[in-house]
Structure 1
């Protein structure tokens, strides 16, 4: 589904472990992998400078971990000094990456606002999809488990849907990827529409369950046209809670979401479903930056 992948690691997120599973990632359709580590500038002194010693250490560590790559997969190691977001964007452009994989610690809104988030900054500076993975998840896998996870990285996606611009954009992006994939790396999608409880008697829902079912049936038929197995479900309750519950009960590789406001001022003014999924989900989240919300 994604042939050119940029894997960003700071060595505390566990993603450098993926360097041992290049062959397994190849079975997920990946043909080019770039491992990137960004070394902060040396801040001691008046003028910041490149920390050559740490760059050399990181290059050695990644190169030794990668070892000999399979002939059909091109692997590059990039260790650069600078600001993380700027460097990631530069390297992604240089290698024409179609997906950026990065780790993300669990944070609340206030913490993110105060200390920032690499993922949030990236999301409104690039249109490249991001696969956000919890460090605790990667670190806890045994080698056998991680081998299987890498092979089926995109096999089954949970797609939250509510007929918004972002949701429709998400469906179109997944349809495009499924149509273009040379094999069946993405096989299954679960479309889930959560009807939010109004919480007040006498106030009708904006969308009735029957309407939601009918809309999802149309989208299901559209996605089945690109050789995907699709199931649909309509639930009621809190959107984030119900989507996470659905992920728990279904055989899901990742939750797919899209948004155009993560990391922007609007997110502090209105609730962002995608941002909450990213903060709360222990499942990998495949995020598609959207120009509209």
Structure 2
């Protein structure tokens, strides 16, 4: 499973609270945790400089994570300055992180295009998965709730599946993780296929036939995943894909939705938004984004 976590925090997104839960994160097989905070450059634009006081204050806050480090787990604190996306990618390379944890606010595609988004910019450049949280959610957990969340971070995945190459790639990524997971890590998956509804009665039979075909394919994927000692269930739903997946996430006891995309952030998304992009903008459940391999 994931063994090297890079936790990026602006110290107000809720992720800074994880400094007190290193032992809980380690339960899932984590061997290395890096806390990263990036301080913007200040001063005249022609001569930008680092705010050393702010950097030292951040370092002291995050250093708490090193107070109770379990045996076999490394904890590092990095406080840097500069462009967030560049610094995050450099830190991933330095520590060979295999997943990046970060928070992002809910926002529209238009707002994102006008004002930018570190998360979406990172999605376009990262080679490792991202685990994205809503800051408001992390901030409201009690200590007991956050402790349990950290222990079960990767326990139950909701996998949106539609038979496409992207969906097959996503399942292969889950299989890869399942083959090398700790006992307290990934246990269960929900395969969810959404057949889009039609209003014309003449097409109702066609939708039913598509649903049957979807269920048949899901059963094959389920059987494949079950060979890895995973508990797997399936759902074929009708409606708008993102809305139905988000509703399924509320009904089932999942810990994260997983997704991938071959169009997110591209010009194409301006006219037809990607499923994963919409999911990241709207979901209150944690979302694990798996980047497609770039050629």
TM-score range, shorter chain: over 0.9
Question: CA separation in 2, counterparts of 1:207 and 1:52?
Answer: 64
Q: Which is further off, 265-274 or 130-139?
A: 265-274
Deviation at 1:89, TM superposition (A): 0.2
Normalised by the size of structure 1, how large is the TM-score? 0.96
2:128 is aligned to 128
Deviations 1:37-82 (A, max 9, x none): 0011114353111221211111111113542322221100000011
Instruction: Report if the CA contact (8 A) 2:20-2:64 is conserved.
Output: no
Question: CA separation in 2, counterparts of 1:238 and 1:119?
Answer: 24
Question: CA separation in 2, counterparts of 1:270 and 1:262?
Answer: 10
Instruction: Report if the CA contact (8 A) 2:8-2:37 is conserved.
Output: yes
State the secondary structure of the residue aligned to 2:193: strand
Q: State yes or no: 1:56 paired with 2:43.
A: no
2:254 is aligned to 252
How many residue pairs align between the two structures?
292
Q: Can you give the 5+ residue segments of structure 1 that lack an aligned partner in the other structure? A: none
Of 221, 224, 236, the match for 1:222: 224
Instruction: Report if the CA contact (8 A) 2:162-2:193 is conserved.
Output: yes
Q: State yes or no: 1:8 paired with 2:12.
A: no
2:89 is aligned to 89
Instruction: Report if the CA contact (8 A) 2:9-2:102 is conserved.
Output: yes
Instruction: Report if the CA contact (8 A) 2:23-2:68 is conserved.
Output: no
State the secondary structure of the residue aligned to 1:180: coil
State the secondary structure of the residue aligned to 2:168: helix
Judged with a 3 Å threshold, the aligned counterparts in structure 2 of structure 1 residues 218 and 57 are, in CA distance, closer, same or farther, namely same
Q: Which is further off, 242-251 or 264-273?
A: 264-273
Normalised by the size of structure 2, how large is the TM-score? 0.95
Of 283, 289, 292, the match for 1:290: 292
Within 5 Å, give how 1:1-293 maps onto structure 2: 1-44=1-44, 46-203=46-203, 204-205=206-207, 208-291=210-293
Instruction: Report if the CA contact (8 A) 1:124-1:260 is conserved.
Output: no
Q: Can you give the 5+ residue segments of structure 2 that lack an aligned partner in the other structure? A: none
Question: CA separation in 1, counterparts of 2:9 and 2:201?
Answer: 50
Deviation at 1:283, TM superposition (A): 0.4
Superposed CA RMSD: 1.5
Q: Which is further off, 56-65 or 69-78?
A: 56-65
